[in-house]
Amino acid sequence: MARDIPGVLDILFPHLTGGLVNALNSKMFAFPDVQAISAEAIEGSSLQNAMLFEISMARAESVLRGGGAASWDECLKVATSRQRRHFDARIPEKLELGDISIADHAARNLVAMLNSIRAQRSYDVLEFAPLIPGLGWVASGNGDFALGSTLIEVKHTARNFGASDFRQVLMYWLLQYARSVENDGPVWSDVLLLNPRRNAALLVNYDHLLRSASASSNRVELVELLRSAVGQDFDRR
């Protein structure tokens, strides 16, 4: 979703500069007993990184749902279905042992991270693929996870969290808030970014992020700015 509207994002969040991104990333933390995946191991796979880590996401989701780990063939089918949406995706016919080893490592890391967070907030239920409402010509979509009032987004990158990551989760919040104005629904108060590849995490309060990055500190003004950029009607899905 967010990759398709870069111009709108720049209008809405003009203060999301390198300095702000660096300041946010200075608050990153790691999880004990979670081991980062080496660059050498990843480079040894013939798969595109996007496909490799999509497979790991499918594996982790199956474990987190409580039904046991899905087979690697099943994980490949799920990942293939998701990656076909991207024109540059290369779909493998099968997984090599090295691919499985990396995907399994990333999946175990993500499960450990999420289980650690869930243990601290046992009163919240982990939500899979939370709905991101659409608006105007921006189609609805789904996030990765949510836990109570915290949106959780997973990034398997070799770098720190970047401006594009923050723009994405800001847009997710703004679309949810715009919908909540109509139906008096809940809105997320925080976003947790997780990188199982690097064992890196960052918890950010949405109010702080909005005040720091946005064209206006007024939520209603931001919604009106969004409406003027993308149209007035919600995607009702």
Full DSSP string of 11-68: HH-TT--HHHHHHHHTT-B--TT--PPPHHHHHT--S-HHHHHHHHHHHHHHHHTTS-
Kindly report the backbone phi and psi dihedral angles of residue 189, in degrees, each rounded to the nearest multiple of 5, phi listed first.
Answer: -100, -20
Compute the distance between CA of residue 224 and CA of residue 155 in angstroms, rounded to an integer.
Answer: 30
Kindly report the backbone phi and psi dihedral angles of residue 154, in degrees, each rounded to the nearest multiple of 5, phi listed first.
Answer: -110, 130
User: pLDDT band at residue 224, thresholds of 50, 70 and 90?
Assistant: confident
Residue 236 within a domain: no
Strands 145-147 and 150-154: antiparallel
Residue 235 within a domain: no
Check residues 225 and 62 and name the one with the higher pLDDT: 62
Residue 195 within a domain: yes
Give the pLDDT confidence score for residue 233 in this predicted structure.
52
Q: How many domains does the chain have?
A: 1
- The answer to whether the CB of 99 falls within 8 A of the CB of 45 is yes
> In 3D, which of 164, 130, 155 has the Cα closest to residue 144?
130
Residue range of the domain that includes 121: 2-229
Residue 22 within a domain: yes
Give the pLDDT confidence score for residue 5 in this predicted structure.
62
Residue 237 within a domain: no
Residue 234 within a domain: no
Provide the residue count of the chain.
Answer: 237
Q: Is 231 left (phi over 0), alpha (psi -120 to 50) or beta?
A: left
pLDDT digits (tens, 9 = 90+) for 95-153: 999 999 999 999 999 999 999 999 999 889 999 999 999 887 788 899 999 999 999 99
Compute the distance between CA of residue 207 and CA of residue 216 in angstroms, rounded to an integer.
Answer: 12
Give the pLDDT confidence score for residue 79 in this predicted structure.
94
pLDDT digits (tens, 9 = 90+) for 4-18: 465 777 888 899 999
Residues of the chain with pLDDT > 90: what percent? 69
- The answer to whether the CB of 132 falls within 8 A of the CB of 142 is yes
